[in-house]
Structure 1
Amino acid sequence: MASGWAADGAVQDQIDSTISDAVAKARSQLNHGESATHCAECGEPIAEARRQALPGVRYCLACQNQLDKKSLPQAGYNRRGSKDSQLR
């Protein structure tokens, strides 16, 4: 069946690419190695339970919360290249 400009399975390819990008981004943000004993931001001691739960942690809970609030969500973009998006 003809599907216009998109190849068969293009929608699923778009979904798969979006998921792969999100997984790659999440993996790149994981901490690695040994946890720090003191926060890299404020210098306060990091709780032992936090260091055991999150290998490679570098920030205390308060500073990590502030850093999480500052990080902006990544905006999505149109992978399909639909006719409508090309006319704009």
Structure 2
Amino acid sequence: MSNSTLFLIQGDYSKAASLLTQLQQMATPQDQIVLMAESILLYAEPALESYTLYILKADTDVLPEVKSLPLNIIDYSEFSNLLLQHTRCISLK
């Protein structure tokens, strides 16, 4: 198990500034982040550059060029494994 925290960012894109502020107050560079639903539109935010980012394969259809993005695209079984690797998981909505 990892001592890092897994953050699930699930909020509406309209709440992006608030979500990023919350994340910056809580997260450390070794933490990992899963962008979900509308939040995947935050993938290019400079505030997220120092983190390992994941998005679900099911959410990729709203992104332009998925292959060239610095993201880890995972399916639901990989997402389950990622959850099991962490002792802490925080959801930001």
- TM-score, length basis structure 1: 0.27
**Larger RCO, structure (CA 8 Å, separation 6 or more):** 2
- TM-score, length basis structure 2: 0.26
- Larger radius of gyration, structure 1 or 2? 1
